[in-house]
Structure 1
Amino acid sequence: MQEQIKQIAMRIQVLRDILGISAEQMAEHLSMTAEQYARYEAGGEDFSFSLLYKIANFLGVDFTDLLTGDSPKLHMCCFIKKGEGLAIDRRKAYRYQHLAPTFSNKKAEPFQVRVPYEPDKAGCPERNSHEGQEFDFMLSGKMRILVGESEFIMEAGDCIYYDSGYPHAMEALDGDAEFLAIIMK
């Protein structure tokens, strides 16, 4: 995993340099100090999904460009077999599978997300925010979702649509939860 983090950090640094964006400008855009940002770009800190998404949008590249170093090339359609999406394990709290990693110029980012049940960490999930809007559709399990100051309990078949600029987090209840997340730019 450490090598993957260093590769992502290198891609970000190279793109930032090519675009003439200073590290200070990047840190300011990401609402962090230059020192914090320097740790990420040096490969010393792991990138959350939300942070990678913000960086990709700011640099004007596809999310998968940062993850894999390979730009999406398909324009007509992208077919993914069950369980074969691009695995994105950026955080222990969530397991992502990108469901359209090879499609170019996406207007939305579709993910299948599994939230493991962790009873010893109940009650205080870390919140993140990113640009755009998000639609989440519960596939299985039961989950608590926090959006801003609001809290919702979701079960299979329930859905929620929200401004993902508000801090949000998910927590599995009574077992693992799985949902479809569509993030619109």
Structure 2
Amino acid sequence: MQANDDVDTRVRKRLRQLRLQYGLTLEEVASRSNIDVSTLSRLESGKRRLALDHLPRLAGALSVTTDELLRAPEAEDPRVRAGSHTHHAITYWPLTRQTAGGLHAFKIRISARRRKPPAELPVHEGQDWMYVLSGQLRLILGERDFTVKPGEAVEFSTWTPHWFGVVDGPVEAITIFGPHGERLHLHD
């Protein structure tokens, strides 16, 4: 029984991978394979067991051989491939993939030119977290002014008026933003 479960799971994952790879909808594959769309959806989600007569029809609908459909899915490339982005004298290198909602991590380099806070400190929804790798980070939170050194981390509510820059030279840090913080820091 275990071997059947493995094959069923493997085909289910491979079916979805191939369908998405070829940019096909459930409806398109269902039509091409002459399998009801709800049945196909349940096959992909594991709510229905795969029958042997499904294999050649699904393979044909995806223009692959049955062997290709039975093959284990290829592992997704784990590397994050996105270019840097510079905004307000800070260069951001993404360390996570862009997904809807959720947290995003960046390596940042704050230019030595970023020394003077704006007249009005920004406030927005969310939470920011930073870990300083090198240099000395200047962090203003409300009326308080902090110097954050390498090896130190800070976490703060972005509802507090805030700004960060450098003390004397460039700063490198790892930062995590929620979706609201990311929009403000990268796109404002």
The TM-score, its normalising length taken from structure 1, stands at 0.48
Q: Which has the larger radius of gyration?
A: 2
Which has the larger strand fraction?
1
